[in-house]
């Protein structure tokens, strides 16, 4: 078996967001000789406070900028000569993509195109096999599963249904084509729903924790019977690193936690954890705050990942169960009220008012 690919410098995009910042923390903690160049333009979803504990660490270089800026990306590649580019940056929220898809086209499609072009020119300057590009994608590109259908394998057809998943699918197709046509060493990962520290409270799990503690309604779209397959974020980060090290260029790897849950079950589990770890003053359960609201247009019914390929070929498997991951997540949010306060000011309140009604802010 050949030795693992082991870069000393990696350009990470979107490393101030939820998964990207967890990835930066995880790899810097585990790879002593690694330098990370972190390119992020700090949209509403990117927060430098996610990276505060890295202040003064010379192995982390933060650059504020746009992945669609060709001059900037080319100059970063020339200056730092990374051996890998791990592309997390994206507009990532389905509900926002329904209200305004333009930014999704720009960042997810145009931005990925730009990175691929810059990476192609850069790889030509390095020895063969000296560079890898990793495209971080989602299970949502596969579309919606029937209740009894087997989970998505890597062979599943792309059938994106939301503006978000359509732009991620377009980006994945570009990455595939850059491998097939130009020989760029591209690896693609398609992961299920993540949760954990630094999760922006517009997504279901952090939104529910945040609103529960404020005594607000916990909005469940439609009948709450939609199914998602949940993975603790650090498990995802380790899987991405494993694919970068040992994946075969041109291949796709599905990443998931074998944790299919209905939304209603997820919210009830969160309420039970909060009841135990931070009980309501009146002694009642947080579950009393659950409220059913209008469904998301075009809401995908079920996602589920078959993660056997990455386990079989690369030896990765999740370390957290859903129960242990949820408890760690609730604990993290209870311990970081300042982080929550910082990220839920200004633009966040505007979004909540638009999505859930002015009275819910």
Point out the residues that are catalytic.
139-140, 164
Specify the pairing of strand 132-138 against strand 84-87: parallel
What is the DSSP annotation of 107-168? IIIIIHHHHHHHHHHHHHHS-TT--EEEEEEEGGGG----TTSPPB-TTSPP---SHHHHHH
Which residues, 245 to 304, sit near ligand TYD by CB under 6 A?
263, 296
Residue with smaller CB distance to ligand NAD, 5 or 198:
198
Nearest distance from C-beta of residue 204 to ligand NAD, angstroms: 10
Instruction: Report which residue's Cβ sits closest to ligand NAD.
Output: 17
Give dist(CA 232, CA 319) in Å, integer.
Answer: 9
302 SS3 class: strand
- Of positions 7, 26, 27, 46, contacts ligand NAD by CB under 6 A: 46
Supply the minimum distance, in Å, between the C-beta of residue 46 and ligand TYD.
17
Euclidean distance between CA atoms 52 and 54, whole angstroms: 5
Q: By CB under 6 A, is residue 163 in contact with ligand TYD?
A: no
In terms of Cβ atoms closer than 10 Å to its own Cβ (0-12, 13-18, 19+), residue 55 is: exposed
Q: Single out the segment in contact with ligand NAD by CB under 6 A; choices: 18-26, 275-283, 304-312, 340-348.
A: 18-26
Name residues contacting ligand NAD, limited to 187-206 (CB under 6 A).
191, 193-194, 200
What part of residues 14-53 is at the interface with ligand TYD (CB under 6 A)?
none
CA distances to 43, 134, 247, 250, 253 from 6, in Å:
31, 14, 12, 18, 19
**16 binds, options ligand NAD, ligand TYD, none, Cβ within 5 to 8 A by partner type:** ligand NAD
> How many Å apart are CA 302 and CA 261, to the nearest integer?
9
Q: Which of ligand TYD, ligand NAD, none interacts with 228 (beta carbon under 5 to 8 A by kind)?
A: ligand TYD
Find which of ligand NAD, ligand TYD, none residue 221 binds, CB within 5 to 8 Å per kind: ligand TYD
19 binds ligand NAD per the rule CB under 6 A: yes
Strands 227-232 and 193-195: parallel
- Give the footprint of ligand TYD on residues 210-249 (CB under 6 A): 219-221, 226, 228
Binding ligand TYD (rule: CB under 6 A), the pick from 132, 203, 210, 302 is 203
Query: Binding-site residue total for ligand NAD (CB under 6 A)?
Result: 30
To which H or E segment does residue 284 belong?
A: none
- Residues 291 and 219: beta-carbon distance below 8 Å: yes
Cβ(219)–Cβ(356) under 8 Å?
yes
Q: Give SS3 for 256.
A: coil
Residue 220 interface partner, choices ligand NAD, ligand TYD, none, CB cut-off 5-8 Å depending on type: ligand TYD
Number of other residues whose CB lies within 10 A of the CB of residue 43: 18
134 bridge partner residues: 86, 187
Provide, rounded to whole angstroms, the least separation between the CB of residue 318 and ligand TYD: 18
Could you say which of ligand TYD, ligand NAD, none residue 200 binds, taking C-beta under 5 to 8 angstroms by partner kind? Answer: ligand NAD
Nearest distance, CB of residue 127 and ligand NAD, angstroms: 29
Contact residues for ligand NAD, defined by CB under 6 A: 13-14, 16-20, 40-43, 45-46, 66-68, 88-92, 107, 111, 136, 138, 168, 191, 193-194, 200
């Amino acid at each position: 078996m050949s030795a693992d690919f082991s870069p000393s410098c990696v350009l990470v995009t979107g490393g101030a967001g939820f998964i990207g910042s967890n990835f930066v923390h995880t790899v810097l903690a585990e790879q002593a000789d690694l330098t990370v160049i972190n390119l992020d333009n700090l949209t509403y979803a990117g927060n430098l406070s996610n990276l505060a504990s890295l202040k003064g660490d010379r192995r982390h270089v933060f650059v504020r900028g746009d992945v669609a800026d060709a001059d900037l990306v080319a100059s970063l590649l020339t200056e730092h000569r990374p051996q890998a580019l791990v592309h997390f940056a994206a507009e990532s929220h389905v509900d926002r993509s329904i209200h305004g898809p333009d930014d999704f086209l720009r960042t997810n499609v145009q931005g990925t195109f730009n990175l691929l072009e810059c990476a192609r020119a850069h790889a030509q300057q390095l020895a063969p096999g000296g560079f890898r590009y990793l495209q971080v994608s989602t299970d949502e590109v596969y579309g919606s599963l029937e209740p009894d259908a087997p989970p998505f394998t890597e062979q599943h057809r792309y059938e994106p249904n939301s503006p978000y998943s359509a732009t991620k699918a377009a980006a994945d197709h570009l990455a595939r084509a850059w491998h097939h046509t130009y020989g760029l060493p591209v690896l693609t990962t398609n992961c299920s729903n993540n949760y954990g520290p630094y999760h922006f409270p517009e997504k279901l799990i952090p939104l529910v924790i945040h609103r529960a503690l404020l005594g607000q309604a916990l909005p469940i779209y439609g009948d709450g019977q939609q199914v998602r397959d949940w993975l603790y974020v650090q498990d995802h980060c380790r899987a991405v690193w494993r694919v970068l090290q040992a994946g075969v260029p041109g291949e796709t790897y599905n990443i998931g936690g074998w944790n299919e849950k209905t939304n209603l079950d997820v919210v009830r589990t969160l309420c039970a954890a909060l009841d135990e770890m931070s009980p309501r003053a009146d002694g009642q359960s947080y579950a009393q705050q659950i409220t059913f609201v209008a469904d998301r247009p075009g809401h995908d019914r079920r996602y589920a990942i078959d993660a056997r390929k990455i386990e079989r070929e690369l030896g990765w498997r999740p370390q957290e169960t859903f129960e242990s991951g949820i408890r760690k997540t609730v604990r993290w949010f209870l311990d970081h009220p300042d982080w929550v306060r910082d990220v839920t000011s200004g633009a966040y309140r505007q979004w909540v008012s638009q999505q859930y009604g002015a009275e819910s802010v």
